[in-house]
């Protein structure tokens, strides 16, 4: 059913979903129409777009400004646009956005930071480009792997519409009374509990029905900040059991990584080109992760740059032929 409100410029149902908006138009449309999805208590509130920046995270969000106070809940419009782009009905997307910006401020129990045992069960990791976030990383316990950095976070609330977390800083770590190595190891181990890993075919990830071409994607259940799942405990071996061989990894963004089979040297050039195309879109967005293709050698249990892997294989062949 199509419902059209010409006076207010609103379109609901199939008609609006047939005319897909680009991201900029989507943000504007949400700002102008979100009030129609909110309770009467937001009748005099003003929707405001905000540029949110944090550790490996920068996005355009929307919040509601009320007369008596500013709503602290900010909905990530970049994530909701991805839902819309993938085919979620606009009415449903708007309802979910309203569920975030219209919720009451969550009750946050900061007493958990009085006990490391309580913090440990809420720890999880995120991944970001190390060089791009060098200034922020100076204040955070982290672990660098290749050109990436793992940071530790504590989930402080979660409901069906949103989740909230705090990055563990050096000052927080000091109050917890543990070293950074212990913190990171515990966060890696516990991440599967907080943000369950998902490994799926490319067609499953894109909600397409085409036959699998050998491409897989690793992410988390929310498909948000899911690239960190590659570094979960046992993740690389789980991928090996699915792909049955060594494999290449395209760090295509902070939400996911693309897993590709080792099909010969000629494929590497194509993989680099593919990653370059993806980064051409994402380089200046919060989703950008790396320009480098990685390789996991299942025999050596070694994660390395694809270029280093190629050089290592060439050296081995040279020695064998000498």
pLDDT band at residue 68, thresholds of 50, 70 and 90?
low
Higher pLDDT, 168 or 46: 168
CA distances to 15, 149, 186, 309 from 141, in Å: 49, 10, 13, 29
Query: Among 74-83, 159-168, 221-230, which range has the highest average pLDDT?
Result: 221-230
The total of structural domains in the chain comes to 3
Domain stops at, among 73, 101, 129 = 101
Residues 185, 256, single domain; the answer is no
Domain stops at, among 194, 218, 240 = 194
The per-residue pLDDT for 106 is 60
Residues 190, 201, single domain; the answer is no
pLDDT above 70 for 208? no
pLDDT above 70 for 186? yes
Q: How much is the pTM?
A: 0.72
- Cα–chain-centroid distance for residue 14? 29
pLDDT band at residue 153, thresholds of 50, 70 and 90?
very high
Residues 265, 173, single domain; the answer is no
Q: Which residues pair with 250 in a beta bridge?
A: 258
Residues 61, 174, single domain; the answer is no
Residues 147, 88, single domain; the answer is no
Residues 310, 204, single domain; the answer is yes
Q: Is 220 exposed, middle or buried (0-12, 13-18, 19+ CB in 10 A)?
A: buried
pLDDT above 90 for 126? yes
Residues 308, 220, single domain; the answer is yes
DSSP secondary-structure letter at 70? Answer: B
Residues 186, 251, single domain; the answer is no
Domain stops at, among 160, 194, 228 = 194
pLDDT band at residue 63, thresholds of 50, 70 and 90?
confident
Residues 244, 286, single domain; the answer is yes
Query: Among 35-44, 78-87, 241-250, which range has the highest average pLDDT?
Result: 241-250
Structural domain boundaries, residue 52: 3-101
Residues 189, 201, single domain; the answer is no
The per-residue pLDDT for 169 is 92
The per-residue pLDDT for 292 is 94
- What's the whole-number mean pLDDT along residues 288-294? 92
Cβ atoms of 208 and 232 within 8 Å: the answer is no
pLDDT band at residue 7, thresholds of 50, 70 and 90?
very low
- What's the whole-number mean pLDDT along residues 289-317? 89
Residues 133, 226, single domain; the answer is no
Mean pLDDT of the chain: 82
pLDDT band at residue 15, thresholds of 50, 70 and 90?
very low
């Amino acid at each position: 059913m199509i419902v059209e409100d010409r006076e207010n410029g609103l379109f609901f149902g199939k008609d609006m979903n047939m005319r897909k908006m680009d991201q900029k138009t989507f943000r504007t449309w949400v700002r102008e129409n979100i009030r129609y999805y909110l309770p009467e208590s937001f009748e005099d509130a003003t929707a405001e777009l905000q540029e949110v920046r944090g550790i490996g995270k920068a996005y355009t969000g929307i919040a509601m400004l009320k007369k008596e106070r500013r709503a602290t809940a900010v909905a990530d419009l970049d994530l909701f646009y991805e839902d819309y782009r993938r085919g979620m009905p606009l009415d449903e997307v708007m309802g979910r956005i309203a569920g975030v910006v219209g919720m009451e401020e969550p009750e946050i129990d900061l007493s958990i930071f009085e006990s490391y045992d309580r913090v440990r069960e809420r720890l999880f990791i995120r991944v970001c480009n190390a060089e791009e976030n060098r200034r922020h990383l100076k204040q955070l316990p982290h672990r660098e792997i290749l050109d990436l950095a793992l940071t530790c976070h504590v989930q402080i609330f979660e409901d069906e519409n949103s989740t909230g977390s705090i990055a563990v800083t050096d000052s927080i770590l000091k109050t917890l009374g543990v070293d950074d190595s212990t913190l990171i190891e515990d966060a890696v181990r516990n991440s599967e509990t907080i943000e369950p890993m998902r490994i799926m075919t490319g067609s499953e990830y894109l909600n397409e029905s085409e036959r699998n071409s050998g491409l897989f994607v690793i992410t988390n259940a929310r498909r948000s900040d899911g690239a960190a799942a590659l570094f979960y405990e046992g993740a690389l071996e789980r991928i090996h059991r699915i792909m049955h061989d060594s494999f290449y990894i395209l760090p295509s963004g902070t939400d996911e990584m693309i897993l590709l089979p080792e099909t010969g040297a000629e494929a590497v050039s194509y993989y680099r080109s593919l990653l370059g195309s993806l980064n051409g879109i994402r380089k200046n967005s919060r989703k950008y992760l790396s320009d480098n293709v990685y390789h996991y050698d299942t025999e050596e249990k070694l994660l390395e740059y694809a270029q280093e892997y190629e050089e290592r294989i060439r050296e081995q062949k040279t020695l064998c032929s000498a």
